[in-house]
Amino acid sequence: MILSRLFRRHSLEKPAAALYGDIVRRARTPVFYEQAGVPDTVDGRFEMITLHAFLVMRHLRRGGEQAQKLSQTLFDQMFADMDQSLREIGIGDLSVGKHIKKMAKAFYGRVAAYDAALDGGAEPLEDALRRNHYGTAEEVPDAAVRLLADYVRSADAYMTAVGAAPLLAGRADFGPVPEE
């Protein structure tokens, strides 16, 4: 019983790693930094990774038990990578845990805000993005926020149409990149 759970979890490592690779690749797309006003900083890159991870996990949540387990494995891999990245930029061992806890809390807050906005909640997606995603930016033009919000809505709709099967196979396709 214990071994079967261990191997089942291990079988999700490969698709989770592939999904995370797709998330990071899309998060590095220049249009987000050049046209959507995302700061090309550690914080800005964290925001882009968490935004795309949110989209993947949102669709995995709807895909049944195996998809939900994959979502958790993806989350674990993402934060293991964040932990490693913090260490590489010189954050001390004693501080890494506090930073990771703060980042995880920020991630969960964003998930709640973006989910609510995409599901027709009271706060428009543009406002949730401006408050969360662009929190460290000085001034972000409304057109840049709209561009990112339109992209998120489009990616969410695209992923809904495609379904969870590609995600379960370790492929995250967000649809087309935004255009100005």
Ranges of the chain with pLDDT below 50: 8
pLDDT at 137: 82
Total length of the chain: 180
pLDDT at 28: 96
Domain assignment present for residue 8? The answer is no
Domain assignment present for residue 173? The answer is no
Domain assignment present for residue 10? The answer is no
Question: Side-chain half-sphere of 162: how many Cα atoms within 13 Å?
Answer: 21
Which residue type does 156 have?
Answer: D
pLDDT at 107: 92
Q: How many domains does the chain have?
A: 1
Domain assignment present for residue 179? The answer is no
Domain assignment present for residue 178? The answer is no
Domain assignment present for residue 4? The answer is no
Domain assignment present for residue 174? The answer is no
Long-range contacts (CB closer than 8 Å, 24 or more residues apart) made by 46-52: 46/82, 46/103, 47/132, 47/133, 47/134, 49/23, 49/24, 49/78, 50/106, 50/107, 50/110, 51/27, 51/110, 51/114, 51/133, 51/152, 52/23, 52/26, 52/27, 52/172, 52/174
Query: Taking the CB of residue 16, how many other CB atoms lie within 10 A of it?
Result: 24
Domain assignment present for residue 6? The answer is no
Q: Which token pair is 78?
A: 């993402």
pTM of the model: 0.89
Helix axes 42-61, 13-27, angle to 10 degrees: 130
Which domain covers residue 23, as residue numbers?
Answer: 15-168
